[in-house]
């Protein structure tokens, strides 16, 4: 079966730098001026044609409908996410702070689990630094981590969510179990972030649709307890694109409103360093799915592999570098451990974008 993919391959700092021949990606502050139309047959790429924005617009009447749909998706402006009384705008990158209440997470396991005062102070610091959402998780999903009993997960996350919700914070629950999702929403969480894309628990799709809250569907190749299993790719970028498209469609078929679906390519889940880097370089392509994007690359193994095996707590520079790359690609939600530094990088990036948008010297 032939499949087509419309990938932005040249980004611009502003539309006027391309004399207006650039599109605004996903309603944000990233702009694309050149595009590759990739054709795949039987899993193998068989052709690649390049277009400017103007050339592609002219060619659309002669191309299959799916290309026109991807073109419209690339330009789609996304409505804000509504998390209870909190509104998270998607016209610029937003930072999602990670709060792990687990004993064994790869970066900060145990640090915020047994002392609620420490956890409270850390969450407050993330909010003060500019986190739009706090993502609370009670199960480590690092490679080789043991499965967590549902009751233990509930005991870990619910007190933290209740405290955060009482403070007025926008809270997301990072879980793949329906009972935990339900209890978390009752406690005040207003978004579901499921690393299994609502596949692990057969009750979760129906529950998420009925709950009506935003959901994050992340790519992970494993279908059972080990989400890192079965990671074999013909072309990791296009394979993940197809997989996310299928999960988006399954969520919509189950009754989840399209505007409530966020997609995440799943950096580090069943993927090696080269595959992770390929996905990060291809982030602009994923806007062709027509959904807001989340990226969770903070402190991950790929950074250590590229920095003389630096341990997780010494991967700040690499984490901010990948976050900046995601901003350049128009990613709306950056899930990170180091909120202050990422927000500062975001604000500097935003300043550069604003300056580029108001610089008309190239037209003089």
**Residues annotated as catalytic (active site), given as ranges:** 300, 335
Compute the half-sphere exposure of residue 120: CA atoms within 13 Å on the CB side of its CA.
Answer: 9
Compute the distance between CA of residue 137 and CA of residue 105 in angstroms, rounded to an integer: 10
Residue identified by tokens 């900060």 is 108
φ and ψ at residue 321, rounded to 5 degrees: -60, -45
Give the Cβ contact number of residue 193 at 10 Å: 27
Strand order in the sheet with 215-218: 261-264, 215-218, 191-194, 171-174, 133-137, 94-100, 333-336, 294-295
**Residue 319: closest CA among 264, 241, 267:** 267
Contacts of 215 (CB under 8 A, 6+ apart): 191, 192, 193, 194, 198, 208, 251, 256, 260, 261, 262
- The two three-digit tokens of residue 275, written as one number: 């595959």
Helices 116-129 and 150-166 cross at an angle (nearest 10°) of 50
φ and ψ at residue 118, rounded to 5 degrees: -65, -45
Q: E strand or H helix at 323, and its extent? A: helix 316-328
- Transcribe 187-203 into DSSP letters: HT--EEEETTTT-SSTT
- Transcribe 26-42 into DSSP letters: GGSS-EEEEEEEEEEET
- The two three-digit tokens of residue 81, written as one number: 């996410």
In this structure, are residues 269 and 220 in contact, taking their beta carbons and an 8 Å threshold? yes
Contacts of 160 (CB under 8 A, 6+ apart): 99, 101, 112, 116, 119, 123, 136
């Amino acid at each position: 079966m032939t499949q087509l993919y419309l990938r932005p391959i040249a980004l611009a700092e502003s539309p006027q730098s391309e004399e207006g021949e650039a599109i605004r990606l996903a309603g944000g502050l990233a702009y694309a001026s050149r595009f590759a139309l990739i054709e795949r047959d039987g899993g193998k790429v068989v052709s690649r044609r390049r277009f400017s924005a103007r050339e592609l617009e002219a060619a659309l009447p002669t191309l299959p409908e799916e290309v026109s749909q991807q073109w419209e998706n690339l330009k789609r402006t996304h409505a804000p996410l509504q998390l209870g009384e909190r509104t998270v705008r998607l016209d610029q990158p937003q930072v999602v702070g990670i709060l792990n209440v687990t004993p064994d997470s790869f970066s900060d396991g145990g640090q915020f689990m047994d002392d609620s005062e420490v956890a409270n102070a850390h969450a407050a610091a993330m909010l003060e630094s500019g986190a739009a959402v706090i993502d609370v998780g009670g199960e480590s999903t690092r490679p080789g981590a043991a499965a967590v009993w549902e009751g233990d997960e509930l005991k870990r996350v619910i007190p933290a969510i209740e405290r955060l919700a009482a403070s007025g914070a926008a809270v997301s629950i990072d879980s793949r179990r329906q009972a935990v999702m339900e209890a978390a929403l009752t406690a005040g969480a207003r978004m579901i972030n499921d690393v299994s894309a609502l596949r692990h628990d057969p009750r979760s799709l129906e529950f998420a649709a009925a709950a009506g809250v935003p959901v994050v569907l992340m790519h992970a190749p494993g279908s059972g307890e080990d989400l890192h299993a079965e990671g074999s790719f013909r072309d990791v970028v296009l394979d993940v694109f197809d997989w996310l498209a299928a999960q988006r469609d399954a969520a919509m078929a189950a009754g989840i409103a399209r505007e409530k679906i966020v997609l995440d390519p799943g950096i580090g889940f069943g993927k090696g360093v080269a595959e992770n880097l390929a996905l990060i370089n291809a982030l602009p392509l994923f806007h062709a799915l027509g959904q807001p994007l989340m990226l969770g690359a903070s402190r991950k193994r790929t950074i250590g592999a590229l920095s003389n095996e630096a341990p997780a707590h010494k991967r700040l520079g690499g984490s901010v570098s990948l976050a900046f790359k995601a901003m350049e690609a128009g990613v709306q939600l950056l899930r990170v451990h180091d909120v202050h530094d990422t927000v500062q990088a975001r604000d500097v990036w935003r300043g550069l974008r604003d300056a580029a948008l108001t610089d008309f010297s190239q037209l003089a």
